[in-house]
């Protein structure tokens, strides 16, 4: 009765919602630093745009996000035909699998990295080929060596989730020069707005020289629109055309479209979000060092830190005290947790709680 391919799919397990933790534990003061959300919330301009649009939600949204695509294409310096939107960038991962992966073809991913790459592969009966991280970052040389005549896709999460590390311009340049032209390279850049390194690659430039590149970005992280579910991909017209063939009509709702349009115009919100993240990162680095805890320097809005104890117990103890974090055992790190960088008050509470739990 079912397709055997879906038996290899493990349902995604998100962090627990605040309201669920409140209900389970019977406490009111709960903060969530588990899912890499923007602690400042959405832009006020985005909220105002949604309020104005609320009376029109009986009308179907524009199927191809016409106005948003016009704004974004101008900002990125690409043609409108080179952009596609989805119900979160996760949605576009599914489009990619449906468009390109045949049964028994191979898809190369780093491990650990974002689990939805495996979902998009397994959904179509493809074979996942994993390449371990080296020093918490993608080993592009090893990924290149893993390519065979059965390889269809390579996913590069940059910055990588859950480690926050990046591969550099030089590393990606060397990688792209060797990748066969019939292997599609997907750069997932969900956290690229947080990057401060000068060595971070400008992947849009690759679209000029390579026909096998797809770039994924999202409005869920720095723009604070995670609850609306809207992300996008950039590529050449041909590949975007194939993705549009499997994109359902009206995939991005009206509220998401107007909120994204508004937030792109709010540079102040973007600047504040980056500043809060940078200051929070420096504070948490300092506190982790004070506590004698090793961490992975990050280019994202989260930090992977070694608490030197069973991460599952630390996770549970933190949650009992109203601080939700991410247990990194699911990523293969038995004594590590991943924490989202929050506001100064949230970061201070995180450290105070962690210190008590580890005492």
**Structure confidence at residue 173 (pLDDT):** 98
237 & 101 share domain: yes
**Residues in the chain, pLDDT under 70:** none
Q: Which domain holds residue 312?
A: 14-42+268-358
Residue 167 lies in a domain: yes
3-class state of residue 333 by DSSP = coil
Distances (CA, A) of 263 to 53, 159, 191, 242, 269: 14, 22, 16, 29, 8
226 & 351 share domain: no
120 & 209 share domain: yes
143 & 274 share domain: no
Bond before 159 cis per omega within 30 degrees: yes
Last residue of some domain: 241, 264, 287?
264
281 & 213 share domain: no
35 & 93 share domain: no
123 & 247 share domain: yes
Residue 145 lies in a domain: yes
**Structure confidence at residue 254 (pLDDT):** 97
- Distance CA(86)–CA(82), nearest Å, equals 14
Q: What is the CATH number of the domain that holds 159?
A: 3.40.640.10
309 & 211 share domain: no
Contact between 70 and 291 (Cβ < 8 Å): no
61 & 108 share domain: yes
- Distance CA(154)–CA(87), nearest Å, equals 22
3-class state of residue 316 by DSSP = helix
191 & 220 share domain: yes
Q: What is the pLDDT of residues 42-101, one digit of tens each?
A: 999 999 999 999 999 999 999 999 999 999 999 999 999 999 999 999 999 999 999 999
**Structure confidence at residue 220 (pLDDT):** 98
205 & 284 share domain: no
Nearest Cα to 218, choosing from 85, 121, 338?
85
**Structure confidence at residue 246 (pLDDT):** 97
Residue 1 lies in a domain: no
**Structure confidence at residue 138 (pLDDT):** 98
**C-alpha dihedral, 237 to 167 to 129 to 175, nearest 10°:** 60
Structural domain count, the chain = 2
Last residue of some domain: 231, 264, 297?
264
**Structure confidence at residue 24 (pLDDT):** 81
Residue 8 lies in a domain: no
**Structure confidence at residue 313 (pLDDT):** 97
**Structure confidence at residue 21 (pLDDT):** 81
Q: What is the pLDDT of residues 145-177, one digit of tens each?
A: 999 999 999 999 999 999 999 999 999 999 999
258 & 311 share domain: no
3-class state of residue 32 by DSSP = strand
Residue 49 lies in a domain: yes
Residue 5 lies in a domain: no
- Distance CA(82)–CA(239), nearest Å, equals 8
Residue 6 lies in a domain: no
Q: What is the CATH number of the domain that holds 279?
A: 3.90.1150.10
Residue 34 lies in a domain: yes
Distances (CA, A) of 154 to 39, 142, 146, 161, 196: 32, 12, 10, 16, 25
Last residue of some domain: 234, 264, 294?
264
């Amino acid at each position: 009765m079912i397709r055997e391919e879906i038996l290899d799919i493990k349902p995604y397990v998100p962090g627990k919602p605040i309201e669920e933790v409140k209900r389970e534990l019977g406490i009111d003061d709960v903060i969530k630093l588990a899912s890499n959300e923007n602690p400042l919330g959405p832009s006020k301009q985005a909220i105002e745009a949604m309020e104005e649009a609320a009376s029109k939600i009986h009308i179907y949204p524009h199927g191809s996000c016409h106005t948003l695509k016009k704004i974004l294409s101008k900002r990125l310096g690409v043609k409108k035909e080179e952009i596609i939107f989805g119900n979160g960038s996760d949605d576009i991962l599914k489009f990619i699998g449906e468009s390109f992966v045949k049964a028994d073809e191979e898809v190369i991913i780093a491990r650990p990295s974002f689990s939805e790459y495996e979902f998009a592969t397994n959904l179509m009966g493809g074979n996942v080929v994993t390449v371990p991280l080296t020093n918490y970052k993608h080993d592009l040389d090893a990924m290149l060596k893993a390519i065979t005549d059965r390889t269809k896709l390579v996913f590069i999460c940059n910055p990588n989730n859950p480690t926050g590390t990046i591969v550099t311009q030089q590393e990606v340049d060397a990688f792209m020069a060797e990748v066969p032209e019939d292997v599609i390279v997907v750069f997932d850049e969900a956290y690229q707005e947080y990057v401060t390194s000068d060595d971070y690659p400008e992947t849009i430039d690759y679209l000029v020289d390579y026909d096998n590149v797809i770039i994924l970005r999202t409005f869920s992280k720095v723009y604070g629109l995670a609850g609306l579910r809207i992300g996008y991909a950039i590529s050449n017209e041909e590949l975007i055309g194939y993705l549009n063939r499997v994109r359902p009509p009206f995939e991005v709702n009206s509220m998401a479209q107007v909120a994204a349009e508004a937030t792109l115009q709010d540079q102040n919100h973007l600047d504040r979000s980056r500043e809060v993240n940078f200051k929070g990162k420096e504070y948490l680095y300092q506190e982790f060092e004070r506590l004698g805890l090793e961490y992975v320097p990050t280019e994202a809005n989260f930090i992977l830190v070694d608490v030197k104890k069973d991460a599952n117990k630390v996770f549970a103890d933190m949650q009992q005290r109203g601080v939700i974090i991410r247990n990194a055992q699911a990523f293969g790190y038995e004594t590590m947790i991943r924490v989202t960088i929050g506001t100064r008050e949230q970061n201070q509470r995180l450290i105070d709680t962690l210190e008590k739990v580890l005492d």
